[in-house]
Amino acid sequence: MTFSIRKAMAASAFAVGMAWAGSPAYAKTQVNFTVAEYSSKTGPYFEEVAAAFEKENPDIHINIQVVPWDTLLQRLTTDIAGGQAPDISIIGTRWLVDFASQGIAEPVDSYLTPEFKSTFIDTFMAPSVIDGKTMGLPVAASARAMLVNTELLDKAGAKAPANWDEFYTTAEKLKAVPDTFAFGLQGKEIETDAYFYYSLWTHGGDILKGDGTSGLDTPEALQAVTLYKKMIDEGLTQPSPTNYTREDVFNLFKQGKVGMVFTFPMLIPQIKAEAPNLKYKVLPFPEGKAKATYGVTDTLMLFSSSQVKKEAWKFIEFAYKDEWRTKFDHGEGFLPVTKNVAAEKYYTSDPDIAGFAAGLPYAKFAPTIANWEEIADTTVRALQQIYLGQAKPDEALKAAAADINKIRSK
């Protein structure tokens, strides 16, 4: 008995000693990097970059924390509140205003050499500039587009729609194909609002009006949502969209059960892996009064509280080398944010990626305004009430616009 206790004590003493030795105690500088998990490839990819970097810089240790997107903001909030903020993190660009206005984000202009700055595509650099200061670097970008199942279109004898009128008639024809749905409409959880913005923008509306008030009480917004509601009521979408998240809708598409969806480039690698026989085509969103797509960027942010900014920046510059960016963008299915990668043949000749990239000249970005998540949630609530038939479209939109104006104190 005593023997086993002593053995256990010895073992735990050994473990404590090992933990002590394992911590970077030999004057190694540690850079803490919080990585948002885009897919199962994200973590291993950044570990690989870090390992290569540490080989060249043996005095710096990059400590990578992979956090799923759903909990990233919560994790950063608690880390910052608890004084445990990382040194660098990937964040959604839509959050950057909140980080910048609270003095959490470090302006990087003084670190950014003209040479390094020139590697980025300006369109993607712009959303990270707040009040003239660059608050972070674009790390990932995507533009949205429409995917159609060409096999179902052929069966229905319909052609791929170019504008909303054609979209509606195509949907009516697709409805006749048994066991499938014409249009996959998202109505649940993250980006339910984005699915509506596609329609809003192409109908000529916008999230905010010129004077900064909500654009939900405009005739364009009403037109955009009425079309969706009409399609729900006439059975041109899958039943009960409020039970379908983005992933649920995309899964229907992968199963060949839905004719048309609005999606992001990251779906392409998934289709290739999970449904290699699916026949599809990437097309721009149906046009109304305007052409539009949703450009989404994520930002690599340096924390103002960091004690190791110089080392962190050294790693950032390393990670933006062409070889690493190519690997990242290809692996995750993103559009490139640096000029050299964008010039690769793959991004101009591949019909899928080119289809998504085609929208970039007229891409709209989510406005960089404070309290974005709350505004998005207010919008989603109004949309769900409309989709469920709990509220009349014009009333729900007006109420949501009033709420948003209150949140923005306009």
Partner 1 sequence: MKSRTRIPTTPLLMILPSFLLAMSIIGYPILDLAWTSMQEVSRFGKMMGFVGLVNFAEVFRDPLFYSSLVRTVIWTVAVVGGTLIISLPIAIMLNDDFYGRGLARVIVMLPWAISLTMTAVLWRWSLNGRAGLINATLMDFHIITEPIEWLATAPLAFTVEILVGILVSIPFTTTIFLGGLSSLPQDSYEAAVVDGAKPWELFRYITLPLMKPFINIAIVLNVIYVFNSLPIIWVMTEGGPANGTDILVTYLYKLAFRFGQLGKASAISLIMFSVLFVFTIAYVLMVMRQEHDSADEEVKHDA
Helix (H, G, I), strand (E, B) or coil at 387: helix
Considering beta carbons, is residue 30 or 304 the nearer one to partner 1?
A: 304
Cβ neighbour number for residue 5 with a 10 Å cutoff: 9
CB-based burial label for 326 (10 Å; 0-12, 13-18, 19+): middle
Per CB under 8 A, does 270 bind partner 1?
no
Can you tell me the distance from the alpha carbon of 21 to that of 18, in angstroms, rounded to the nearest whole number? Answer: 5
Shortest Å distance, C-beta 184 to partner 1: 11
CB 252 within 8 A of CB 187: no
Question: Residue 367 CB, nearest distance to partner 1 (Å)?
Answer: 17
Q: 99 or 315: whose CB is closer to partner 1?
A: 99
Give the binding range for partner 1 (CB under 8 A) out of 48-56, 117-125, 249-257, 332-340.
Answer: 249-257
What length is written for the chain?
Answer: 410
Number of other residues whose CB lies within 10 A of the CB of residue 79: 18
- 101-140 mask for partner 1 (x: CB under 8 A)? -x-x------------------------------------
Q: Which of 58, 239, 276, 351 binds partner 1 (CB under 8 A)?
A: 239
d(Cα 383, Cα 222) in Å, to the nearest integer?
11
**Contact characters 158-197, partner 1, x per CB under 8 A:** -----------------------------xxx--------
Least distance to partner 1 from the beta carbon of 98, Å? 5
Classified as helix, coil or strand, 274 is: helix
Contact with partner 1 (CB under 8 A) among 12, 84, 243, 340: 243
Cβ 303 vs Cβ 313: under 8 Å: no
247 is a site residue for partner 1 (CB under 8 A):
no
Q: Does 81 bind partner 1 (CB under 8 A)?
A: yes
Q: Binding partner 1 by CB under 8 A: which of 252, 296, 300, 341? A: 252
Of 2 and 390, CB closest to partner 1: 390
Residue 288's alpha-carbon distances to 172, 182, 223, in angstroms, are: 18, 19, 10
Tell me the DSSP string of 125-142: HGGGEETTEE--EEEEEE
Q: Which DSSP state fits 104?
A: -
- Nearest 5°: the CA angle 342, 343, 349 is 90
Binding footprint of partner 1, residue count (CB under 8 A): 37
Interface with partner 1 by CB under 8 A: which range of 206-214, 233-241, 326-334, 336-344? 233-241
> Residues in the site for partner 1, rule: CB under 8 A?
73-74, 76-78, 80-82, 98-99, 102, 104, 187-189, 238-244, 248, 251-252, 257, 371, 373-374, 377, 380-381, 384-385, 387-388, 390
